[in-house]
Amino acid sequence: MFKKKSKYNVAVMGATGAVGEEMLKILEERRFPVDRLVLLASARSLGKKYSFHGKQIAVEELKENSFNGIDIVLASAGGSISKKFAPFAVKAGAIVIDNTSAYRMDPNVPLVIPEINPEDIQKHKGIIANPNCSTIIMLVPVYPIHKTNRVKRIFVSTYQSASGAGARAMRELEEQSRDVLAGRPAKKEIFPHQIAFNLFSHNSAIKDEGYNEEELKMVKETQKIFHDTKIKITPTTVRVPVFRAHSESIYLELEKTPDIARIRKILSKAPGVKVVDDREKNYFPMPLEASGQDDVLVGRLRKDLSSSKGLCLFVSGDQLRKGAALNAVQIAEILIQ
């Protein structure tokens, strides 16, 4: 059982990364009751400082004994780091909210989107996993529809920003853009292909039947979060030259014929969702507008002209916020309620 306190000692593992930095901002913005904040990263970041509620906090090197007295660890330093260090945190009595893929499919670890399955949080044994960003951004608007008209199958194509590959990938997009515009060759370090003025199939490893890891995560994680192994998902994931916020074109095969006006009403009341769907102005979700927002923007609500039970949507959601840091902090908020 998690011991209730008025304030908690929180460690951010990977505090200097794109998601880690967003976690600090969100803890501050949402006034999470933090007593001591410990910022953990690699030895490369020693000397770096971050401001938190007006106080300067120095980054410490992540070590096995970094978790003494810590209540909650927000982890976002990569899968291998979580695999290695989360057990030390749990042993020291902390609860780890892990933003990596290390534990997501572990049957002993709840995989949680607070708008969908908050009750799973209480089943934790020390680790709670945050889903993959593409899964979160897809499911937050799909779930309220699923609750009233069961989703049998999802076809989804993603338009994923550089932020999903971390802070260095965002810098690579910026530097490549400057280089290309100045007539210089674009240097590749993080992505396998030029990201500036280009797009390519998601840069995760290709696995079974030609699907990449990102696509397989979307399939398996959806089934786990929905507690429904029957739901079918066919994803295609693509990296696009956008700094932050992922977009997704989603097609839902529903149990019953959808009524667009009713779906719009359901979505306009759903938590974590904002309807952006102005046909007259041709104004729909865009990653630039989703960036920095907590809500997932949803629009282009259309019936499928070729099938009576199909529904089309287009969504944009901030990959660093709802797709990662915000979802993790929301889990922590439920944990301490």
Which of the residues are catalytic?
Answer: 133, 246
Which residues of the chain form beta strands (DSSP E)?
8-13, 34-41, 49-52, 55-61, 72-75, 95-98, 127-129, 151-159, 200-201, 232-236, 238-239, 246-254, 273-275, 296-303, 310-317
Cβ atoms of 74 and 99 closer than 8 Å: yes
52 to 81: interface string for ligand A2P, x by CB under 6 A:
----------x--------------xx--x
Cβ atoms of 14 and 81 closer than 8 Å: yes
Paired tokens of 281? 């102005």
The yes or no reply on residue 44 touching ligand A2P (CB under 6 A) is yes
Going by C-alpha positions, the residue among 71, 114, 68 that lies closest to residue 94 is: 71
The yes or no reply on residue 272 touching ligand A2P (CB under 6 A) is no
Q: Which stretch binds ligand A2P (CB under 6 A): 162-170, 288-296, 298-306, 326-334?
A: 162-170
HEC secondary structure over 268-337: HHCCCEEECCECCCCECCCHHHHCCCCCEEEEEEEECCCCCCEEEEEEEECCCHHHHHHHHHHHHHHHCC
The strand pair at 49-52 and 55-61 is best described as antiparallel
- Residue (62 or 113) nearer to ligand A2P, CB: 62
- Residue (17 or 114) nearer to ligand A2P, CB: 17
- Residue (77 or 111) nearer to ligand A2P, CB: 77
Total of residues contacting ligand A2P (CB under 6 A): 17
The strand pair at 34-41 and 55-61 is best described as parallel
**Shortest separation between residue 12's beta carbon and ligand A2P, angstroms:** 9
**Shortest separation between residue 167's beta carbon and ligand A2P, angstroms:** 4
Q: Which residue is nearest to ligand A2P (CB)?
A: 17
**Shortest separation between residue 215's beta carbon and ligand A2P, angstroms:** 20
Cβ atoms of 234 and 216 closer than 8 Å: no
Cβ atoms of 227 and 249 closer than 8 Å: no
The yes or no reply on residue 45 touching ligand A2P (CB under 6 A) is yes
- Residue (204 or 222) nearer to ligand A2P, CB: 204
The yes or no reply on residue 168 touching ligand A2P (CB under 6 A) is yes
76 to 115: interface string for ligand A2P, x by CB under 6 A:
-xx--x----------------------------------
**Shortest separation between residue 233's beta carbon and ligand A2P, angstroms:** 26
> What residue ranges bind ligand A2P (CB under 6 A)?
14-18, 20, 41-42, 44-45, 62, 77-78, 81, 166-168
